[in-house]
Amino acid sequence: MTQALAVVLAAGKGTRMKSDLPKVLHRLAGAPMLGHVLGAAGAAGIVRAALVVGPGMDAVGEAGLAVVPEAQVFVQSEQLGTADAVKAAAPAYEACAGPVLVLYGDTPLLRAETLKAVLGELEAGADLVVIGFEAADSTGYGRLLFDDKSRLQGIREEKDATPAERALTLCNSGIMAFRASATLSDLLSRIGNDNAKGEYYLTDAVALAHQDGLQTRVVLSNGEEVLGVNSRSELSVAEGLMQRRLRAAVMEHGTTLVAPDTVFLSYDTVVGRDVVIEPNVIMAPGVTIEDGAMIRGFCHLERARVGAGSTVGPFARLRPGAELAPGAHVGNFVEIKNAKVAEGAKVNHLTYIGDASIGPNANIGAGTITCNYDGFSKHRTEIGAGAFIGSNSSLVAPVKIGDGAYIGSGSVISKDVPDNALALTRARQEERDGWASKVRQRRSRDKSK
């Protein structure tokens, strides 16, 4: 089929969100809702996009362009209804020779498979396709109406529906597609605003198309997939549904989630086979975990890569730029940022590694700190292969610890250490026999006075 266009309506202010942030930019699984919608369209093969935003919503346009750089952005100057919003994108759809799909920026659970089914109906001869769903509670939704030949003949908004129509349970998702832009343009030009809200409803296009003898069809979805998010409460519901979907996907591909409901994934989390993720783990965006790795409980990972067979945690934090080679070990209360930990290296306890590289099979003792920031700039620490860093050491960057070097516990290292050398900076230990007894006796006499 000729290349399709997605017109994404994203002009709503989302007043029920009680937020300064435009509604479609609220995040779900680490990405703006708008990004999920554009991602579904792209996965369905719809590579062209037109965004309709409200006045002053430059941030929405920028977020859309971050996903689809070639997208066009249009401003709906007044909110006069969905048909009016689509008209704002007229330069885009009038130049489109293929199908036009009208999507909504606040339906982040929409699946590519459903959009592919819509495109299939258009290719099979439908002129207009609506995505519908059966609702257990249809309150607030437009109802799909059929003629005596079971052809879709219209959509009735609840405020304009009769009691009999309100009793119907097959509802309109709002998502609609047109086989030709000429059909869309003609129908939009004839839509009026004679309704309870005085707005121009895109849904009126169905009745007009039916009257013209055009083929109108329905693609069935489920209520979860087309859930529109209008409040923080609905956002939390959508997050739960998205997490359930993401967890199911990684488990299907060979990952063990010990307590699935406690693991939170991002839209782009990549997890290999035979990975085990223990309870209470959070994956922010940009995380890749390779085959056979173990992520122990209460870890937080963001823009990080965990190599095959590595172990992380418990209670570890991998910040952006953390890269663990295969077989690396990062243990409890360890933080890694913008650093590479080579194969077989161990950073097991109470340690901060920032702006650093750790060589193969190096061992970093408990309490070690790479002092990477001098108040103005960040500096790097390089630790060679097989080096041993004693507990409670501070490595003041920029500094290089050679291969096989040994740093004595409690040292502050501010100069490079050659290969296989010993470096320690703590003062010599002194002992004074009987000192403790004398001090206790003196203090006891002072208290008795």
pLDDT tens profile 237-250 = 999 999 999 999 99
Is 356 in contact with 374 (CB distance < 8 Å)? no
User: Is pLDDT above 90 for 157?
Assistant: no
Length of the chain (residues): 449
**Each residue of 402-424: pLDDT tens digit?**
999 999 999 999 999 999 999 99
**Each residue of 75-104: pLDDT tens digit?**
999 889 999 999 999 999 999 989 999 999
Average pLDDT, the chain: 95
Mean pLDDT of the region 350-357: 98
> Could you tell me where the beta strands, DSSP code E, fall in 297-439?
300-301, 305-306, 311-312, 317-318, 323-324, 329-332, 335-341, 346-349, 352-358, 363-364, 369-371, 381-383, 388-389, 394-396, 399-401, 406-407, 412-413, 422-423
Residues 445 and 252: their CA atoms lie apart, in Å, by: 74
Residues 80 and 198: their CA atoms lie apart, in Å, by: 8
**Which tokens belong to 76?**
């709906």
**Each residue of 419-439: pLDDT tens digit?**
999 999 988 888 999 999 999
223: helix, strand or coil: coil
| pLDDT (0 to 100) of residue 359 | 98
| pLDDT (0 to 100) of residue 2 | 62
**Each residue of 29-66: pLDDT tens digit?**
999 999 999 999 999 999 899 999 999 999 999 999 99
DSSP 378: B
User: Is pLDDT above 90 for 136?
Assistant: no
E strand or H helix that includes residue 307: none
Residues 304 and 413: their CA atoms lie apart, in Å, by: 28
| pLDDT (0 to 100) of residue 429 | 86
| Global model pTM greater than 0.85 | yes
226: helix, strand or coil: coil
Q: At what angle do helices 33-43 and 58-67 cross, to 10 degrees?
A: 30
Task: Average the pLDDT over each of 151-165, 167-181, 336-350, 401-415 and give the range with the smallest value.
Answer: 151-165
Is 210 in contact with 91 (CB distance < 8 Å)? no
User: Is pLDDT above 90 for 149?
Assistant: no
| pLDDT (0 to 100) of residue 140 | 86
**Dihedral sign, Cα of residue 395, residue 399, residue 403, residue 408:** negative
Q: What residues act catalytically? A: 349
**Tokens 């998502």 sit on residue:** 175
User: Is pLDDT above 80 for 25?
Assistant: yes
| pLDDT (0 to 100) of residue 263 | 98
| pLDDT (0 to 100) of residue 160 | 84
Residues 57 and 24: their CA atoms lie apart, in Å, by: 11
Mean pLDDT of the region 193-200: 83
Task: Average the pLDDT over each of 150-164, 267-281, 329-343 and give the range with the smallest value.
Answer: 150-164
| pLDDT (0 to 100) of residue 76 | 94
Percentage above 90 pLDDT, the chain = 88
Percentage above 70 pLDDT, the chain = 99
